[in-house]
Amino acid sequence: MNNVDKTEVERFGAIASEWWNPRGKFRPLHQLNPVRLAFLREQIVAHTGRDGRGAKPFAGLTILDVGCGGGLISEPLARLGASVTGVDPAQENIAVARAHAAEQGLAIAGTTDDLAPAGRQFDCVTALEVVEHVPDVTAFLRSCAALIKPGGLFLTSTLSRTAKSYALAIVAAEYVFGWLPRGTHQWSRFLTPGELRDHMRAGGLEPLCERGMVYSPFSGAWALSDDCDVNYLAAAVRSGQ
């Protein structure tokens, strides 16, 4: 988990106080959250064969949220019954996640030290909006795979490297509308679904599926889609027995 870009860590750490402000610098993630959570719930329920209709369908499951930030995904996963550990290289983010979770009566955040016990593994590892920020994607995915139980699930979201994503996720989102701070993303680090699948296999993960996330300017909402040209989610299973 030392495969981090210090500049990226410092950038997100500097705005950690904004995590739970739905109209602040992380507004796009707040808007994305219902769609991201819907995909996670769908994939975990399908993979584990659980009944997803109950209030706590993830009861008994252990989930590691890598790059948890302020806990925007960790908290809803915990409310669904999972035992969630959140880790993030920016200690400012961990402090925010711990404090907010405590206010909600939840305990979700940790540090990379919490992963130290030999052989600790989880039923599922999530890494949302993370892979586009790490220098060595294969090494990152390999480290995630090592933390998943054999046959366990890996879930991620990122952006595809296309002309469309450059226009929408960089030019429009960061420079025209100011939805994201300038410099949030480096287009060269975006991965097409095919490239991500290759990195997954090299890292010991077997790809399962991808789903796109598209934004409607008319409704102001995000929805799952077959269009993976910009934002997309992906699922994979840890290879081996």
Question: 133-171 pLDDT, tens per residue?
Answer: 898 999 999 999 999 999 999 999 999 999 988 887 777
pTM of the complete model: 0.90
- Per residue in 69-86, pLDDT (tens digit) is 999 999 999 999 999 999
Q: What are the extents of the domains in the chain?
A: 6-238
Mean confidence (pLDDT) of the chain: 87
pLDDT band, residue 114 (cuts 50/70/90): low
The band of 110, judged by pLDDT with boundaries at 50, 70 and 90, is low
Q: With contact defined as beta carbons under 8 Å apart, do 113 and 172 qualify?
A: no
Alpha carbon distance 149, 14 (integer Å): 34
Is the domain defined by 6-238 classed in CATH 3.40.50.150?
yes
Q: Within 10 A of 108 (CB to CB), how many other CB atoms are there?
A: 25
Tokens, residue 210: 């991808």
